[in-house]
Amino acid sequence: MTESKKAWTIRVLMMLLVAYVAFLGFIWWAMRQPPEKFAGVMARMPVAAYFVLPFETMWTRARAGTLNAGDPAPDFSLVRLENKTDKIQLSSLTARQPVVLVFGSYT
């Protein structure tokens, strides 16, 4: 291999590495966005990206959160099941009312 071919190969590999790291950073940023924005990014994601990025590891770390056992729950609002236009805020519930949060599905 001639010296110019080696230099060209190294430049191409460095450009690919920079592009990979930039893409990795973009996906990391997207994973830390609200679900709607993240879904918009993932809807346009090429299938090949799933084979070259550590998605599971990144997702686990991006969504780990900072709550520990015993910390107060973060305040949020949800739409009521009885009336789809009415919302309820977690902080509006008193300590005398038990609150059960179910995330996911039983099907």
Residue 15: the pLDDT is: 97
Asked if residue 103 belongs to a domain, the reply is: no
The C-alpha angle 70, 75, 77, rounded to 5 degrees, equals 140
Residue 13: the pLDDT is: 96
**Whole domain around residue 51: which residue ranges?**
3-68
Q: Is 79 helix (H, G, I), strand (E, B) or coil?
A: strand
21: tokens are: 């790291």
What are the helix and strand counts (H, E) for the chain? 4, 2
Asked if residue 36 belongs to a domain, the reply is: yes
Question: Average pLDDT of each block of 10 consecutive residues along the chain (107 residues)?
Answer: 86 95 91 87 86 85 80 82 83 75 72
Residue 1: the pLDDT is: 65
Asked if residue 52 belongs to a domain, the reply is: yes
32 CB neighbour count, 10 Å cutoff: 13
Residue 17: the pLDDT is: 95
Distances (CA, A) of 34 to 9, 52, 77, 80, 106: 40, 24, 15, 21, 24
Residue 22: the pLDDT is: 94
Residue 11: the pLDDT is: 94
Domain count, the chain: 1
Cβ atoms of residues 37 and 27 within 8 Å = no
Asked if residue 48 belongs to a domain, the reply is: yes
